[in-house]
Structure 1
Amino acid sequence: MFDTVLVANRGEIAVRVMRTLRSMGIRSVAVYSDADSGAPHVRAADEAVRIGPAAATESYLSIDAVIAAARATGAQAIHPGYGFLSENTAFAAACEQAGIAFVGPPSSAIDAMGDKIRAKQTVAKAGVPVVPGSDGAGLTDDDLAAVVADIGYPVLLKPSAGGGGKGMREVHAPGELADAIAGARREARNSFGDDTLLVERLVTTPRHIEIQVMADAHGTVVHLGERECSLQRRHQKIIEEAPSALLTPAQRDQMGRAACEAARSVGYTGAGTVEFIVSSDRPDEFFFLEMNTRLQVEHPVTEEVTGLDLVELQLRVAAGEPLPVTQDDVVLTGHAVEARVYAETTTVSGDALTFLPSGGTVLDWTPPPGVRVDAGIETGTVVGSDYDPMLAKVIAYGATRGEALRRLDAALRDTVLLGLDTNVGFLRALLADDDVRAGDLDTGLIARRGAALVDHDVPGDVLGAVAGLGLLRREPAGPVVDPFDVPGGWRVGEHAWTVSRLLTGGADGAVEVRARGRAAGFDLALPTTSGAGTVPAPVPASVTPDGTPARCRTVAVAPGVLEHTQDGRTRRYAVAGATGGPVWIGRDGRAWGIREQEPLDAARAAADGAGGPVVSPMPGTVTVVEVAEGDTVVAGQKLVVVEAMKMEHVLTAPTDGTVRELRARAGATVAKDAALLVVEPVSEEQA
């Protein structure tokens, strides 16, 4: 067994791999970029080596830098985690040439399975069913269009290299094809350095089921059951579970044997995942999608139901040991469900959902007790736009699927993550969906549910707690001598009303909150409807049915913790806030960043359908600028593409007009809400 292993990754996966290394008595080495110099994975290691600046291409994706770090620290093996270099054939070959064990399959297997076109050809020869589509490499745009014309719409464009849903595009009509090919090639090139595409028939209402395989160098290949990964957005999984509610033991055995054959067809060793698309109404009909030649994000659910440590098995196989288990030893017990926590803002346009990366400083991270949490953050972590926006994974186990789902929802409810927008509230809404609870899943479920899964309204008790916090912070520390000095607005007869206009997250309007008194006992009045985007009534309506203001009470029970009583109900809230920034307040897994309204700048003041600035909806990098100063544009025309955390967002013209004040430059880094250009609308005279 190895004495020292370098982990060529970051975040939660690096921390998780180091946990197993520590349990096995193996010394761990971390690598880090300038952006990660103080990251948790750096401190979790026995030794850490800087390998470059923040850009992944100059650090985590630099083969020379990683190999040099391994040599300098005496590492005998490199564990690549997932993402970055984990499926890079050149990296696996470089490890082999340097005499360093690569904790993964041989470079030949990565090469065979890393190219999705060759992978389909290889497994098809082994008798594994594949989705109809293109079967050649190096297809031009015209070649792809010809294949689409042959197999018919709808189709799915996929990068031949890489995975994780990056660069995938659904195309439902001929008019969408050209832009979809261009966008898929661009994102594939940026993510994987290879813009080769393939196209497949889009299987409608599919379920995404994958089989975990393990193979050693002594000829043993076993599968560890399946994971259901059908709950996805942007072709990326957010809820995964093991086993699937769909498969029978016979179907599991059939898919497991096919997965093992796929692994044998390329001489595979180590941990790998064979992904299948399964028809919702015909689980006996399944098609090979791809093989991920690495550990998966969702591997913990397999560990929970099998009792096996997959990282330990990887290390033993890489060290030349035979697998300690046979197929008969693999027994799935109970049920496990995992939720991925992302730095993410969910917006709604009609019934359509848009998921945009967010960022900021983690002001409070308190993971839930009683469940497994794999995290790469801590309080104080700065989440930027350089890397993937996944922050943590919450994994719950139960004797039954229902119990596992209940425990996961309770864990998300008890999760405190303040300082940036996350998807925790969205995950809870998804877990509460009737079809999800019944196990009636497919990859389009989230898109169909749309706005029903998103709640941007801020509850009245949260606004009341913020008002109480404001009063609490203004109260004098010592005894009050002069009643006119009391900041609560005391006057002869009664306290005066203090009016606050609160921005509650992305709204052009503000919520008006009126309070009078002191935190230990105050009256509160809110607008008739409280929530983001609400235009407050001139005189706020009472929150009580009889027309009198509600009587509230706010108490600080611990640093960063409030108890607030309103409507006869006492709740507990986590609170945090940076100097000059919003107050972050959270309860039941949701969190809101609320600030006093300031004069709106032009970027926020532009209304839909009117001219004005076109702003970046997220911190990121400008990858494409389609227009020039003075160009005439029409409403909906593509103007700029911004990429952040491996996701592209296309900005379009809000109205017909002329491009002015063009600030966007390809390759430039931009902040959230940065004005990239202005569309000067067509005047009535011009029209």
Structure 2
Amino acid sequence: MTAKLFDTVLIANRGEIAVRIIRALRRLGIESVAVYSDADAGALHVSEADRAVRIGAAPANESYLDIDAVIAACRHTGAQAVHPGYGFLSENVDFARALEAAGITFIGPPVNSINLMGDKIRSKNHVLSHQVPVVPGIAEPGLGDEQLLAAATDVGFPLLIKPSAGGGGKGMFAVESDAQLPEALASARRTARSAFGDDTLFLERLVRNPRHIEVQILADKHGNTVHLGERECSLQRRHQKVIEEAPAPLFENLEHGAQIRERIGAAAVAAAQSVGYVGAGTVEFLVSDQNPDEFFFMEMNTRLQVEHPVTEEVVRVNGEKLDLVQWQVRIAAGQALDFTQDQVALCGHAIEARLYAEDPSSGFLPSVGTVLRVSEPENVRVDSSLRDGLEISAHYDPMLSKLIAWGEDRTEALVRLDQALAGTVVLGVLANSEYLRLLLADTDVAAGRLDTNLIERKLDQFAFRKLGPRELALAAHLEERRSPAANTPWGLRDGWRSQHRRASIQYFDAEEAEGKTALLREQDASLVRVGGEEFTVRQEPDGTLSVNGQRTALQHAFAEDGTLWLCEDGWTAAVRKLSRGEVLERHLVTLAIESGTLSPHVESPMPGTVISVQVADGDEVAAGQLLLSIEAMKMEHQLLSPADGIVRMTGLKSGDLVKAKQVVATVEPTEPTGTTEAKHQEQDA
């Protein structure tokens, strides 16, 4: 007899994964309960769910990481089970135990499996005892910095610092020499403590330019375990996956790739069975590009993966797709898998791109704000949490959505994904669509020649689009049409034209072309001069804009503060018309910099929280020296001294909140050696 499914399931998560789970539950006929923090009151997952419960303030440790609050929400709504999604409490053994004690089903593996595989140190030692190869290193619980420093020589450089808890590359640091190790350990501990509540670290030998291959498994409570092929996740930046695909190009391009797939799949199944695993999980391996027959166990993620959609898009069981979330629910309810390994087949190719609120052209700084307008493609699968009016805060991971393209082969999937990214419109925050398109267009990526360091090697070669004269001309046209002078011939659109056209000078918050335009009104267009170039900008009858007779795909929206957001073919930018006072202020600042009388300011590039202050007011600092660190969107950003000099701090301390562009320190430059002596000699003369 088939086990009965749950009546009500609570989703202990947010964002696109919460929406994804809610929709899977709806297809199963199960009532969904969302939880939300104060920052997420208007989020999409809140309105999508059948019911929603507030569980705390915006910081994650006061809401989504509050175990008692989540269990209280279950009791309040009568939820019989909890789906944790990924991140937050998904691999928290205390959460699983608390649910068990409360008589609530955890839609995930047993406590013992989480305990063994959810901790990287324990998992490495466990699989090593089962003859699974692991990367050389030192992985023991409770190692302090002194012990890790002492062990580093035996591990060898370069090495990798890894947090024992958590995942997603957070807290991982590559270290090339022993001189870099102390500060890297301190930063890794801060990040791990903040992200996972556990700052335990271990060291591994850094394997240069490896392939990152992971295997999806499903296991029920009746002893049945299968693997669903592999995914290649080698395209990473700072150990954070960017593009994922299935099957792995590495295996697809080899004559004996099918045999390697079978071996690595069997290894993943054996690892899962060794801990009595139940549910959906992923076993991750490092695979040598030069010798694909050799692979090393990295870790097992005891949860659903961000990249699970690419597996869903290519796996067929008796010709039908699988829904991994639905199978997680069925397995948790006690149902058995109704298929065997020999019924699993792969069909075509799927590639996923993660859309983040960030600015790749400025060091991947997170972007926060209000989503003014969003338009998502319809020709690919989109797992998204985006909606008009959504507030993107600095409290959580900056991922907005995932675009997943399927094709008969890899080339077709790549083309479809690129087209989808070009057609994605997000106005109000900066997004990384352009960066993803540049990455997909790379010759090595297109050919499937991937490794985990490819992005770091090639990022400097990417030519990010800038705000140029054409864009400033469009901005001048849109700004003028938005608020034409009232009750004057210049503000009317009746076809009236003066014999002498009057120029309107506009200054924008942009460096390109000095950010200055001269706009002259035409009957139904704008004649705009930017620097030495002249543009005719016109709105066509179908609503599109044209520049010098050429139509554009530009989408735009104005924010309440007057900022104009532009989006075209995956490129996003923001520009704002400056007031006369701001123009004067910037002019004076430029003069001060040129005269050498202005002290360089250190500003926070985004809203965030101060997590460490490394210097005191009045300290002598060197150019490039770390002054303080700020955390935003679960990432640590180090603010450095712009010059040699004396630092003047603003009194910030750990835990303080800062705003975007807030001055956090000022460095009074010291005069170069010999300058003072030269002045004295001039005076003596």
| TM score, norm. by length of structure 1 | 0.91
**More helix, by proportion:** 2
Describe the shift of the 1:492–1:389 C-alpha distance in structure 2 as closer, same or farther (beyond 3 A). Answer: closer
Amino acid at match of 1:589: G
CA offsets 1:446-475 (integer angstroms, 9 cap, x no match):
111122224141254433322221332345
Describe the shift of the 1:96–1:556 C-alpha distance in structure 2 as closer, same or farther (beyond 3 A). Answer: farther
| Aligned equivalent of 1:323, options 309, 317, 337 | 337
Unaligned runs of at least 5 residues, structure 2: 252-256, 316-320, 678-685
SS of the residue 2:330 aligns to: helix
Give the Cα–Cα distance (whole angstroms) in 2 for the partners of residues 474 and 59 of structure 1.
43
Q: Match of 1:546?
A: none
Describe the shift of the 1:431–1:485 C-alpha distance in structure 2 as closer, same or farther (beyond 3 A). Answer: closer
Verify the 8 A CA contact 2:133 2:295 in the aligned structure 1: yes
Q: How many angstroms does 1:356 deviate by?
A: 1.6
Q: Match of 2:507?
A: 501
| Aligned equivalent of 1:81, options 74, 80, 85 | 85
**604-613 vs 177-186, greater mean Cα deviation:** 604-613
Describe the shift of the 1:567–1:483 C-alpha distance in structure 2 as closer, same or farther (beyond 3 A). Answer: closer
SS of the residue 2:552 aligns to: strand
Q: Match of 2:600?
A: 612
Describe the shift of the 1:99–1:686 C-alpha distance in structure 2 as closer, same or farther (beyond 3 A). Answer: farther
SS of the residue 2:508 aligns to: strand
Give the Cα–Cα distance (whole angstroms) in 2 for the partners of residues 150 and 579 of structure 1.
58
In the TM superposition, 1:475-494 aligns within 5 A as 475=484, 483=489, 493-494=499-500
Verify the 8 A CA contact 1:472 1:518 in the aligned structure 2: no
In the TM superposition, 1:195-214 aligns within 5 A as 195-214=199-218
- The answer to whether residue 254 in structure 2 is matched with residue 254 in structure 1 is no
- The answer to whether residue 439 in structure 2 is matched with residue 418 in structure 1 is no
Verify the 8 A CA contact 1:603 1:612 in the aligned structure 2: no
Q: How many angstroms does 1:485 deviate by?
A: 6.7
Amino acid at match of 1:541: G
Q: How many angstroms does 1:483 deviate by?
A: 4.7
| Aligned equivalent of 2:378, options 360, 363, 369 | 369
In the TM superposition, 1:467-482 aligns within 5 A as 467-475=476-484
Q: Match of 1:445?
A: 454
Give the Cα–Cα distance (whole angstroms) in 2 for the partners of residues 254 and 299 of structure 1.
21
Amino acid at match of 1:346: P
Amino acid at match of 1:67: I
**264-273 vs 495-504, greater mean Cα deviation:** 495-504
Give the Cα–Cα distance (whole angstroms) in 2 for the partners of residues 209 and 231 of structure 1.
11
| Aligned equivalent of 1:245, options 239, 245, 249 | 249
Q: How many angstroms does 1:358 deviate by?
A: 1.2
| Aligned equivalent of 1:577, options 558, 562, 565 | 558
Q: How many angstroms does 1:55 deviate by?
A: 1.0
CA offsets 1:589-628 (integer angstroms, 9 cap, x no match):
2121111133457999797998421111111100001122
Q: Match of 1:266?
A: 275
CA offsets 1:499-546 (integer angstroms, 9 cap, x no match):
222223xx49842222212372332322xxxxxxxxxxxxx213xxxx
**125-134 vs 493-502, greater mean Cα deviation:** 493-502
Verify the 8 A CA contact 1:488 1:495 in the aligned structure 2: no
Percent sequence identity over aligned pairs: 52
SS of the residue 1:182 aligns to: helix
Give the Cα–Cα distance (whole angstroms) in 1 for the partners of residues 536 and 98 of structure 2.
69
- The answer to whether residue 414 in structure 2 is matched with residue 405 in structure 1 is yes
Give the Cα–Cα distance (whole angstroms) in 2 for the partners of residues 328 and 674 of structure 1.
60
CA offsets 1:416-461 (integer angstroms, 9 cap, x no match):
1010111111111111111111100111111111222241412544
Verify the 8 A CA contact 2:35 2:55 in the aligned structure 1: yes
Describe the shift of the 1:525–1:442 C-alpha distance in structure 2 as closer, same or farther (beyond 3 A). Answer: same
Q: How many angstroms does 1:487 deviate by?
A: 9.6
Verify the 8 A CA contact 1:468 1:554 in the aligned structure 2: no
Give the Cα–Cα distance (whole angstroms) in 1 for the partners of residues 240 and 459 of structure 2.
16
Give the Cα–Cα distance (whole angstroms) in 2 for the partners of residues 458 and 157 of structure 1.
39
Q: Match of 1:90?
A: 94
In the TM superposition, 1:593-612 aligns within 5 A as 593-597=574-578, 598-599=582-583, 611-612=599-600
Describe the shift of the 1:508–1:386 C-alpha distance in structure 2 as closer, same or farther (beyond 3 A). Answer: farther
Amino acid at match of 1:498: S
Verify the 8 A CA contact 1:488 1:518 in the aligned structure 2: no
SS of the residue 1:246 aligns to: helix
In the TM superposition, 1:129-148 aligns within 5 A as 129-148=133-152
Q: How many angstroms does 1:300 deviate by?
A: 0.5
| Aligned equivalent of 2:288, options 279, 296, 299 | 279
SS of the residue 1:174 aligns to: coil
CA offsets 1:385-443 (integer angstroms, 9 cap, x no match):
11110011111111111111100110111101010111111111111111111100111
Describe the shift of the 1:180–1:616 C-alpha distance in structure 2 as closer, same or farther (beyond 3 A). Answer: same
Verify the 8 A CA contact 1:343 1:358 in the aligned structure 2: yes
| Aligned equivalent of 1:553, options 538, 542, 553 | 538
SS of the residue 2:91 aligns to: coil
Verify the 8 A CA contact 2:468 2:513 in the aligned structure 1: no
Q: Match of 1:648?
A: 636
Verify the 8 A CA contact 2:490 2:521 in the aligned structure 1: no
SS of the residue 1:471 aligns to: helix
In the TM superposition, 1:120-159 aligns within 5 A as 120-159=124-163
CA offsets 1:542-601 (integer angstroms, 9 cap, x no match):
3xxxxxx443323474xxxx5222233112321111122310111112121111133457
Give the Cα–Cα distance (whole angstroms) in 1 for the partners of residues 549 and 304 of structure 2.
50
CA offsets 1:279-337 (integer angstroms, 9 cap, x no match):
11211111111110000000011011111100011011101111122111111101111
- The answer to whether residue 175 in structure 2 is matched with residue 171 in structure 1 is yes
- The answer to whether residue 635 in structure 2 is matched with residue 625 in structure 1 is no
Verify the 8 A CA contact 1:603 1:673 in the aligned structure 2: no
SS of the residue 2:450 aligns to: coil
Give the Cα–Cα distance (whole angstroms) in 2 for the partners of residues 97 and 242 of structure 1.
39
Q: Match of 2:8?
A: 4
Q: Match of 2:548?
A: 567
Unaligned runs of at least 5 residues, structure 1: 349-353, 527-539, 543-548
Verify the 8 A CA contact 2:354 2:402 in the aligned structure 1: yes
SS of the residue 2:285 aligns to: strand
Give the Cα–Cα distance (whole angstroms) in 1 for the partners of residues 561 and 190 of structure 2.
38
CA offsets 1:97-132 (integer angstroms, 9 cap, x no match):
111110000011001012111101111122211000
Verify the 8 A CA contact 1:59 1:65 in the aligned structure 2: yes
- The answer to whether residue 509 in structure 2 is matched with residue 524 in structure 1 is no
Amino acid at match of 2:619: D
CA offsets 1:31-73 (integer angstroms, 9 cap, x no match):
1111111211111111111111111101100111111111111
Q: How many residues in Structure 1 have an aligned counterpart in Structure 2?
A: 654
Verify the 8 A CA contact 2:16 2:385 in the aligned structure 1: yes
Amino acid at match of 2:645: G
| TM score, norm. by length of structure 2 | 0.91
Give the Cα–Cα distance (whole angstroms) in 1 for the partners of residues 661 and 611 of structure 2.
17
| Aligned equivalent of 1:355, options 330, 354, 364 | 364
- The answer to whether residue 45 in structure 2 is matched with residue 33 in structure 1 is no
Give the Cα–Cα distance (whole angstroms) in 2 for the partners of residues 187 and 603 of structure 1.
40
SS of the residue 1:317 aligns to: helix
In the TM superposition, 1:189-200 aligns within 5 A as 189-200=193-204
Amino acid at match of 1:140: G
Give the Cα–Cα distance (whole angstroms) in 2 for the partners of residues 632 and 304 of structure 1.
57
**656-665 vs 64-73, greater mean Cα deviation:** 656-665
Amino acid at match of 1:136: E
Describe the shift of the 1:607–1:76 C-alpha distance in structure 2 as closer, same or farther (beyond 3 A). Answer: farther
* C-alpha RMSD over aligned residues: 2.3
Describe the shift of the 1:488–1:443 C-alpha distance in structure 2 as closer, same or farther (beyond 3 A). Answer: farther
| Aligned equivalent of 2:240, options 228, 236, 241 | 236
